Amino acid sequence: MMEDANHRRTRKSVTVLTVEASLFSANDSQAAANRARFDACGILAINLISSPGSGKTALLEATIKALADILRIGVIEGDIETARDAERIRAQGAPVVQLTTGGACHLDAVMVARGFEQLSAEAGDQPLDILFIENVGNLVCPASFDLGEHRRVVLVSVPEGPDKPAKYPAAFVGSQLFIISKTDLLPYFDFAPHEAAASAKCHNPAMEVFELSAKTGDGMAMWLTWLRREVAARRAEREIP
């Protein structure tokens, strides 16, 4: 009897691991297909991740406004419910699609593929230079799912505190850029940007770190320069035979 119980526990454990491996395998396959499609369209895809309220949408609003005459930007918005963020982006004149997950704490590659189909229809004949994927507010689950992006950007706002890189390392290991947002609030919070940056670089030494405020515009120039550089690099890669 004891042997049968152990056997059942072993079989259950193996089944759970197999399902999880299958889930990530299917997602990674779709992510690779997404990336190939973005490449074919000449689009730089950027996955934005952060906790809720870190300022992702505000950053996108300021970015679209600043680059409106230079780059064509489209946005896939991910939220558990409501289309509020999509409405804010649409007000800036950018094509946008809202994906509501209905409770899921992250976007996955299949959702992004579906969202990109809708976005392409909305954008029409005007090709995009940048696709921003604003993920569901969460520093845990989004870090585990490749969406087909070329670059991943993680935000931490000043009110959240500088300990997020230490608490949520996976979000920083897989990102190329760390943005410390809402720096206009630094006088009111105990947040040392150099400490947060150093903590992030412990996990990812190659990561770039920018400090900015989408509200005041301080530090935005570095971010906009980074975007233009990444778009140029993507275009150069397409031209290499």
Question: What pLDDT shows up at residue 21?
Answer: 66
Query: Rounded to 5, what percent of the chain is helix, strand, coil?
Result: 55, 15, 30
Q: For residues 155 and 50, is the Cβ–Cβ distance under 8 A?
A: yes
Across residues 183-190, what is the average pLDDT? 98
* Helix (H/G/I), strand (E/B), else coil: 142: helix
- The tens digit of pLDDT for each residue in 190-206 reads 999 999 999 999 999 99
pLDDT band, very low/low/confident/very high, at 187 (cuts 50, 70, 90): very high
pLDDT band, very low/low/confident/very high, at 235 (cuts 50, 70, 90): confident
pLDDT band, very low/low/confident/very high, at 23 (cuts 50, 70, 90): confident
pLDDT band, very low/low/confident/very high, at 126 (cuts 50, 70, 90): confident
pTM as predicted: 0.89
SS3 letters across the chain = CHHHHHHHHHHHHHHHHHHHHHHHHHHHHHHHHHHHHHHHHCCEEEEEEECCCCCHHHHHHHHHHHHCCCCCEEEEEEECCCCHHHHHHHCCCCCEEEEECCCCCCCCHHHHHHHHHHHHHHHCCCCCCEEEEECCCCCCHHHHCCCCCCEEEEEEEHHHCCCHHHHCHHHHHCCCEEEEECHHHHHHCCCCHHHHHHHHHHHCCCCEEEECCCCCCCCHHHHHHHHHHHHHHHHHHHHCC
Q: Which domains does the chain have, with CATH numbers?
A: 2-239 (3.40.50.300)
Amino acid, res. 177: L
Question: What pLDDT shows up at residue 20?
Answer: 57
Amino acid, res. 96: V
Percent of the chain with pLDDT over 90: 83
Torsion of CA 238, 73, 97, 77, to 10 degrees: 100
**Among the listed residues 126, 125, 202, the one whose alpha carbon sits nearest the alpha carbon of residue 167:** 202
Question: What pLDDT shows up at residue 178?
Answer: 98
pLDDT of 231 higher than 50 = yes
